[in-house]
Amino acid sequence: MNALQNKVALITGGSRSLGLAMARALIDQGAEVVITARSRGTLDEAATTLGSRAFAVQMDVRDPDSVRAAMASVAERFGRLDILVNNAAIGCLHRIDQASDADLQAQVETNLLGVIYTIREAVPLMRKAGGGDIVNVSSESVRLPFPMLSVYAATKAAIECLATGLRDELRPERIRIATLRCGNIADNSGFGDAWSAEQKADAFQLWGKTGHLAFAGEAIPQSIVADTLVSMLGLPPSGGLDLIEVRGR
């Protein structure tokens, strides 16, 4: 029997790209997987692709009421939650003096507040399950923030700090919390879709001068990140990982 057999997992941003790859990996290990996203259409399409062990729930992590409603749906269907993967994130490319209010708010609300909202609502469901696992997906940019993506990096650093603080708080509940820090991910569709050609040209010219392009290294396949997640979740209850980083060579 697989280590994750019949576990109930929820993945934010689970309808495409890395989130979809992670959902597929957990389903392959026998888990029941709730995928969430803002778009109903992409959710339904992803759930059809994943099969009968996938459960699509529309949720906007930036809206606490939406998160509460989604977790209520999970409670109604499964009665518990064993695994939460905070994967949903956005990165807006901008020089700080040119950043719009909307871009700044979207990054902080999605990447930081969204993680806090989902953890807050997941803990009672994990308590019912007798424990659980929370994994926050972070970025190697916390170690070397890219210019023009510094706000994105700051939000990722914040959720790593959050996990460190919650580790001791949640341990008595038998809830483990870990950080999965990722490098440049291949075919990570959607992340830079809103970046203009002018912004990209400006950024890549700057990154070339600062050496950030060399730091990024090769893109890592989504499947390797998904397999790393499975390995983390498969550890026996007596073990745990504070942080693991997976990146290309």
Catalytic position from the list 138, 141, 189, 209: 138
Task: Answer for the pair 220, 228: CB distance below 8 angstroms, yes or no.
Answer: no
Bridge pairing between strands 83-86 and 54-58: unpaired
User: What is the C-alpha to C-alpha distance for residues 195 and 204, in angstroms, rounded to an integer?
Assistant: 12
Longest dimension (CA), the chain: 54
Q: Is 156 a catalytic residue?
A: yes
Catalytic position from the list 156, 189, 200, 223: 156
Strands (E), 140-242: 175-182
C-alpha torsion sign, points 144, 147, 152, 155? positive
User: What is the C-alpha to C-alpha distance for residues 9 and 85, in angstroms, rounded to an integer?
Assistant: 8
Q: Is 117 a catalytic residue?
A: no
Q: How many CB atoms lie within 10 A of CB 194?
A: 13
User: What is the C-alpha to C-alpha distance for residues 197 and 195, in angstroms, rounded to an integer?
Assistant: 7
Catalytic position from the list 152, 189, 223, 231: 152
Residues with catalytic roles: 138, 152, 156
